[in-house]
């Protein structure tokens, strides 16, 4: 769904209130769907100017709220638009998505949290604990020193190999010397 500025929405509403046809307004203001203007008008009548402004943060709805909206819509046999206006859900498609999830997977689908799970905070894992005894500390320090020495040796050998290849004393890998 295309987003429009609040001033564009307000202009469309004012033109409609003056008696201009919805299709003519949509052409004049380059609005792709004339039905959106009707939705804006109803939100404006219910919520005022704040109903036309885009929300800065994404609203997160809980499973109970979603179920309440779908049940209300079914009991009153209303459209997604009417339900969205009644419960102040800005995007009509949001309710349609809830209904689709409900129809496919049932009630549980409405309670599934979307997105990436929050990072866990609390105790560190057993493997991440720091050793406490002096022997464990000295062993860890010795392993770190050995690791560092091996890295230095590895870097030295890589540079030596590159230097020897540069001078042409060693054949480069990939070419076979056998004929």
Give the domain ranges of the chain: 1-54, 58-113, 134-167
Report yes or no: 100 and 91 within 8 Å, Cβ to Cβ: no
Confidence class for position 1, pLDDT limits 50, 70, 90: very low
Over residues 4-34, the pLDDT tens digits come to 888 888 888 888 889 888 888 888 888 888 8
Count of all residues that appear for the chain in the document: 179
Residues whose CB is less than 8 angstroms from the CB of residue 73 and which lie 6 or more positions away in sequence, other chains included: 80, 82, 83, 95, 99
Over residues 116-146, the pLDDT tens digits come to 777 877 655 555 566 567 778 788 888 998 9
Alpha carbon separation from 115 to 67, 89, 106, 112, 146 (Å, rounded): 20, 20, 20, 10, 43
């Amino acid at each position: 769904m295309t987003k429009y500025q609040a001033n564009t929405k307000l202009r469309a509403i004012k033109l409609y209130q003056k008696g201009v046809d919805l299709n003519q307004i949509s052409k004049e203001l380059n609005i792709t769907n004339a039905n959106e203007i009707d939705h804006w008008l109803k939100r404006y009548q219910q919520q005022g100017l704040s109903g036309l402004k885009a929300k800065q943060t994404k609203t997160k709805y809980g499973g109970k709220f979603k179920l309440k909206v779908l049940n209300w819509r079914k009991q009153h046999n209303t459209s997604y638009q009417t339900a969205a206006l009644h419960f102040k859900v800005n995007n009509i498609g949001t309710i349609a998505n809830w209904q689709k999830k409900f129809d496919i997977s049932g009630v549980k689908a409405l309670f599934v949290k979307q997105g990436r799970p929050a990072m866990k905070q609390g105790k560190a894992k057993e493997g991440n604990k720091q050793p406490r005894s002096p022997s464990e500390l000295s062993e860890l320090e010795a392993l770190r020193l050995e690791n560092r020495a091996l890295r230095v040796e590895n870097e030295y050998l890589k540079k030596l190999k590159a230097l020897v290849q540069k001078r042409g004393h060693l054949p480069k890998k990939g070419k076979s010397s056998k004929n």
